[in-house]
A = this chain, B = another copy of it.
Amino acid sequence: MSKKILIVGGVAGGASAAARVRRLDEQAEVIMFEKGPHVSFSNCALPYHLSGVVENSDDLVLMSPETFKKRYNIEARVSQEVVAINRDAKTITVKNVLTNETYEESYDKLVLSTGAAPIRPNIEGVHNENVFTVRNVVDIQNLNTFIQHRGLKDIAVIGGGFIGVEVAENLKKAGYNVSLVEFANQIMMPLDHDMVQILHKEMVDNGVHLILNDGLDKIGEGYIQTQSGKEVKAEAVVMAIGVRPEITLAQKADLEIGSTGAIKVDHNYLTSDKDIYAVGDAIEVYHKLTHTPTRLALAGPAQKQARAAADHMYGIPNQNKGVIGSSSMHLFSLNTASTGLNARMAENAGIRYDSVYIIPADKVGLMPNSSPMHFKLVYEVPTGKLLGAQAIGKGNVDKRIDVIAAMITMNGTLEDLKDLELSYSPMMGTAKDVVNHAALVALNQLYGRYKEVKVSQVRELVENNAFIIDAREQGEYNRGHLKNAVNIPLSEFRDRLDEIPKDQPVYIHCRSGQRSYNMVIALENLGYKNVYNISGSYLGISLHEYYNDLVTGREKIVTEYNFK
């Protein structure tokens, strides 16, 4: 007798599970239930409707129920909310949200792909008609129609994660005045605080009103008020402070919930009921690097989990490797991507780690569009095991991050990474790739061949009047430098050693770190014991200081910023 498989949720995880079941079993009866009017839409592309990059919101829907039926013989029932799982009877109770009628449907196997819902905090005004969340095609249509038809100008986005930032960017591109309010001291938590300053600057440079370290207090008529008391003009508000796994159905059915508040699953994405699987944003997964349960709201892992669950129904084993969390984002002129653990996550996980931050060119310098790539690599101490990486730049940052993701997955170390033989041509990279370069610098640090201080420590060094050498040429120095730095170019230092003290720490930077690195190594070889490279160098210092100088009005530690 053929299997009957029901799937709750028809987007990334649900649609993938359905399609895989069909390929494994032409006879199975497969029914997918979706509360909203659409299955199989592109969540990740939703914000791009606001700017018109995706002009027609219908394009966001990748496949209609009719196509599912005709191509895959999969029944996709839209506007049908699954309201209960009757585990003993092996049925679900379904409510047609258009007619309010309910009915039961039996299953042999059930897959929960219920996703995660945007959090709406319990504050004044949060249920006003001008407050929106962005979870599906209807949401983005409603938001876009509202702001266009009313001819609004001022919009506030609350929350600086992927959705908040992408919504802010696309609204800004569409010509609105956009404020983005974030409770933490930074947007985009996959990035470390030092790296994310580059994105803070990008937001500000592109006219987004960025408010950090501040939460939403209430939503008023034409404005919002932040917890610090700031009033910000806002005719519409987009709430994007985070998502909560949709576990109501699982909870009601008494399925086990994990410590993170998401549905607990085993190796094969089985819940505590051996006939019920769960996949996607609603579940908790095992983190390969921290060895703890974690949550992940990403489309790629959801699809892979769905396939593994379908495979398990048909006896095909699945090697569950745990997740590492890789993501990317485009923001105005910049691309950013990250994988694995950043320094903060490694710290929180109690892992002994170190990091390097380099700013090499993303392709051969004399090629058109060559530009600096900001790259931070995090590794375990003392093993050199790769833990994570973050990259930001105008070029192909995702390429470098994906290589690191592959290396982390294969338990690679800095030694493996330094020798990696990557494709090269001048239009697309450099002979020594960014990732090779980062590994070499990190190995020098790990092996104690040189020491560095982080870009975030520079202000303190300046305030304490540390001995800082600017290793750039004089012309570069004159166009902007640290207020108390001594200019001793790499090209002159061998003749000016008497100016460099041996009895106190010496900190060296140049533009991007390469020249200062050479000077640090040379001085160490000459017997200097206390020489430090300033990670990130002048580019990193400028970027790191810029945004905070701007918003706090504090005294600059540089005469001029340099961003090139």
Contact = CB atoms under 8 A, between A and B. Distances in A.
A301 B421 contact: yes
Contacts of A410: 406-407, 410-412, 416
Nearest to A335: B428
Contact of A367 (B45, B399, B411, B420): B45
A327 B423 contact: yes
Contacts of A53: 367-368
Contacts of A26: 521-522, 525-526
Interface in A285-336: 298-304, 307, 319, 321, 323-330, 335
A358 to B, nearest CB: 15
Contacts of A42: 364, 366, 426
Nearest to A406: B406
Contacts of A518: 19, 22-23, 71-72
Most buried by B among A321, A398, A526: A398
Nearest to A339: B423
Nearest to A520: B23
A67 to B, nearest CB: 7
A44 B525 CA distance: 34
Given A71-B491, A403-B402, A427 B330 contact: yes
A19 B514 CA distance: 12
A338 B335 CA distance: 24
A105 interface: no
A405 B423 contact: yes
Interface in A401-419: 401-403, 405-407, 409-412, 415-416, 418-419
Contacts of A70: 490-492
Nearest to A66: B491
A402 B431 contact: no
A398 B400 CA distance: 10
**SS of A interface (majority):** mixed
A366 B521 CA distance: 50
Contact of A421 (B19, B59, B325, B365): B325
A147 to B, nearest CB: 21
Interface string A80-108: 00000000000000000000000000000
A378 to B, nearest CB: 15
Count of identical protomers in the assembly: 2
A25 interface: yes
Categorize the interface residue count of chain A.
Answer: 35 or more
Most buried by B among A60, A329, A440: A329
Interface string A16-37: 0001001111110000000000
Contacts of A526: 26
A432 interface: yes
A28 to B, nearest CB: 10
A509 interface: no
Nearest to A69: B491
Contacts of A436: 300, 304
Contact of A298 (B59, B324, B367, B424): B424
A328 to B, nearest CB: 4
A429 to B, nearest CB: 7
Most buried by B among A23, A42, A338, A432: A23
A70 B304 CA distance: 55
A76 interface: no
B401 A423 contact: yes
B12 A431 contact: yes
A73 to B, nearest CB: 6
A174 interface: no
Given A406-B407, A431-B44, A73 B426 contact: no
A201 interface: no
A73 B337 CA distance: 38
B425 A330 contact: yes
A396 interface: yes
Interface string A387-400: 00000000010110
Top-8 shortest CB links A-B: A410-B410, A26-B525, A70-B491, A299-B431, A399-B399, A328-B423, A406-B406, A330-B427
30 contacts: A22-B518, A44-B431, A59-B366, A70-B492, A71-B515, A72-B518, A300-B433, A325-B421, A326-B422, A326-B423, A327-B423, A328-B428, A330-B427, A335-B427, A335-B428, A337-B428, A396-B396, A396-B399, A398-B423, A398-B428, A399-B399, A401-B423, A405-B423, A406-B406, A406-B407, A406-B410, A409-B416, A409-B419, A409-B421, A410-B411
Interface of A: 12, 19, 22-27, 42, 44-45, 48, 53-54, 59-60, 62, 67, 70-73, 298-304, 307, 319, 321, 323-330, 335, 337-339, 364-368, 396, 398-399, 401-403, 405-407, 409-412, 415-416, 418-429, 431-433, 436, 440, 490-492, 494, 515, 518, 521-522, 525-526
